[in-house]
Structure 1
């Protein structure tokens, strides 16, 4: 597995797809914030699965294909948002080092607690991430509908972004389903564990949008 904390390349860039003249300054800022949070969230996901995999697979070898599948999908999501962050010269969150450490500790800690706790972690994280991506899809669809009423469109780059976010959201929700199927709700203490993790995810999203 490659390191998730590799530095983002500073390739030549161009303005956000929000150079579309139909979008407002506020909408452009929304896109920058959304992509910054998405990149930070996918970094965390890669690190969580990377830290969980060795102890989980050691104790439950039959879970190796599932853990690799989920890790590989998260790594793909992270690559996609790294490309967009670099391409459009969006500043990553200043909390990058903090999220790196926190995600690694969360992944390792829940794996040490056992398979059920690791799966409960996945359920909690993917619940919040799925909701976050759903909000972005709804926002882009609202923009699309408003532009259509004025005889305009999102443009090819934002159409592609909408498609990518929908796909990534669906893959995240697939991970949630896998977690539930593998006894996430049997974790002890389930309610405390998932509520703390979900609250931490919401706080991380809020901070990453702003810092």
Structure 2
């Protein structure tokens, strides 16, 4: 059964890679239209600007910013290179997609094991935290006008299938899934924090706080999974490695599409 699950996950990953090339050209045009209709209107009196705004845009509002308050100094013009802006946009897009996938994994697990008096409350607690994470990143994507992943429907279906599928294998397999997913996500957030520490700007400092808090939450989920027999799942190593590889592939795809 574990071998069949591994093969299924590999086929899913391969299918997603093929889907990537087909969606890139289709989503390029729709992204511009979506952003023009969903991006929030910028307020002229805001004391800080989104970290991806150009310095020209920031300077155009600097006189209004400085006159709105005599007690606080205006934020200096943002100086980000093109590479830094692209990196930050990829980070936010991937983080939103990751929290989306995590939501649907827990949704799938709860659909199968929610009635279990021992495991159900644990899943609900972790799911509630993931709902909060997704809500925050939805706001960040909108606020900073980052193009979200075009693969949202795929991540929803894949997340639910993974969550429900491992839950059907048993409580231990469900926890092994959580262990594998949170290991990858926790490491991914750590990598992001190292990159964000290289950028000195108030908005980026706030983003670092969000990433750090969510990293800690994900590691808490990892500890919960280990405490509830994740490593006692049948064919634990095979199952864990297959899920980890799938998560890494999803991160890379989401950063591009």
TM-score, scaled relative to structure 2: 0.72
Map of 1:120 onto structure 2: 176
Q: Which runs of 5+ in 1 are unaligned?
A: 1-7, 144-152
Aligned length: 193
Structure 1 residues 118, 36: closer, same or farther in 2, change over 3 A?
Answer: same
> Quick one: which of 119, 129, 137 aligns to 1:81?
137
Task: Give yes or no for the alignment of 1:18 onto 2:49.
Answer: no
Are positions 1:180 and 2:236 aligned together? no
Number of the residue aligned with 1:147: none
State the 1:95 CA deviation: 1.5
- Following superposition, which runs of at least 4 residues in structure 1 exceed 4 angstroms of deviation? none
1:150 counterpart residue number: none
1:89 is paired with a residue whose SS is: coil
Structure 2 distance, partners of 1:163, 1:53, is 29
Q: Name the structure 2 match of 1:139.
A: 195
Please list, as runs of the form range in 1=range in 2, the aligned pairs for 1:34-183 lying within 5 A after superposition.
34-58=91-115, 60-143=116-199, 153-155=200-202, 157-183=203-229
Match of 1:148 in 2: none
Distance 2:198 2:143 in 1: 25
| Residues in 2 aligned to 1:13 and 1:172: alpha-carbon distance in whole angstroms | 33
CA offsets per residue over residues 147-168 of structure 1, 9 Å max, x none?
Answer: xxxxxx412x211110010000
Write the distance in 1 (CA, Å) between the matches of 2:171 and 2:221.
Answer: 14
| TM superposition shift of 1:122 | 0.2
Q: Partner of 1:83: helix, strand, or coil?
A: helix
Q: 1:68 deviation in Å?
A: 1.4
Is 2:92–2:140's contact at 8 Å kept on the other side of the alignment? Answer: yes
Give 1:12 shift: 1.1
Q: Is the 8 A contact 1:110 1:118 kept in 2?
A: yes
RMSD between superposed Cα atoms in Å: 1.7
Instruction: Give yes or no for contact 2:78–2:201 (8 Å, CA) kept in 1.
Output: no
- Deviations 1:94-149 (CA, angstroms, capped at 9, x unpaired): 12111111111001100111100000000000000001100010111123xxxxxx
User: Which secondary structure state, in structure 1, belongs to the residue aligned with residue 90 of structure 2?
Assistant: helix
